[in-house]
Amino acid sequence: MIITIDGPIATGKSTIAKTLAEEIGFIYFDTGAMFRSLTYAILKENVDYKDAETIKNFLEKFDFDIIIDHGEKHYYINKEDVTKKLRTQKVTTLVSEISALGPVREKLMEIQREFAIGVNAVFEGRDMGSTVFPDAEYKIFLTGRPEVRARRRFEEMMEKYPEESQNLTFEKMLEEINRRDTFDSTRKISPLRQAEDAFVIDTSDITIEEVVFKILEYKDTTSTVRE
Ligand code: DC
């Protein structure tokens, strides 16, 4: 069974998807981390991603894997553990542009669908319910006011990456969130979009636990209706 959770940045998607997956014994896939891994590799190898032929060749030999070690997920690109490099400012700045490229989306969609074969999983991202898994059993779409999301992400960055965040302000974060939201939802291929049959939850004024509870409630009531 596949459950998809989509929505813009800092709606609590990752924590919610992870908590939900743990609660019901499903595997959890953070597809943003996949786009970030690929972006990191492009930066590291200095790939001319604007050139169609170059990106095609790069994607053909792109070797991606996820390994779970002591319960923690590690992302590997060409046998290098890139997990700790995924949230750096450089990767964050470029990832929207990279994830708007058609061949990149096709390649990652192929990998995501392969990961989904024969497992019970929660897939979290931007287009999981609308494009990658249109037949998913349950689709959730999370929303939230930009100011609330910017505050959350700002506090998270200050706590987790204090050195990198020295010049960061709430205003800059809000600007960055609005920029990425616009970019992700207006790109030509597979934009951030709510699937028509998704269950929508505004996470601005409720806790992670309350959101997970709402999803579980929704899952239980719809499965009764479906039976
Ligand atoms: O969730 P995140 O911030 O780690 O995602 C990083 C970027 O990847 C984000 O700018 C949008 C993109 N992304 C996407 O285009 N499709 C997905 N399914 C997941 C993420």
* Dihedral angle of Cα 168, 88, 36, 76, to the nearest 10 degrees: -160
* HEC string for 36-81: HHHHHHHHHCCCCCCCHHHHHHHHHCCCEEEEEECCEEEEEECCEE
Per residue in 6-65, pLDDT (tens digit) is 999 999 999 999 999 999 999 999 999 999 999 999 999 999 999 999 999 999 999 999
Burial tier of 53 (Cβ tally within 10 Å: 0-12, 13-18, 19+): exposed
Distance 16 CA to ligand 1 centre (A): 16
User: What pLDDT, on a 0 to 100 scale, did the predictor assign at position 226?
Assistant: 60
d(C-alpha 212, C-alpha 191), whole Å: 25
Q: How confident is the model at residue 131 (pLDDT cuts 50, 70, 90)?
A: very high
Check if 184 has its Cβ closer than 6 Å to any atom of ligand 1: yes
Give the total residue count for the chain.
Answer: 227
Residue owning the nearest CA to atom 9 of ligand 1: 96
| Residue 225 identity (one-letter amino acid) | V
- Please count the other Cβ atoms lying within 10 Å of the Cβ belonging to residue 32: 17
Q: Is the pLDDT of residue 227 over 60?
A: no
Q: Is the pLDDT of residue 143 over 60?
A: yes
Best residue among 101, 126, 181 to mutate for probing ligand 1, ranked by most atoms within 8 Å of CB: 126
User: What pLDDT, on a 0 to 100 scale, did the predictor assign at position 183?
Assistant: 86
pLDDT average, residue stretch 159-171:
88
Return the CATH number of 2-203, one of 3.40.50.300, 3.40.50.1580, 1.10.10.10, 3.90.780.10: 3.40.50.300
Give, in order, the Cα–Cα distances in Å from 67 to each of 102, 104, 192: 27, 22, 28
pTM for this model (two decimals)? 0.92
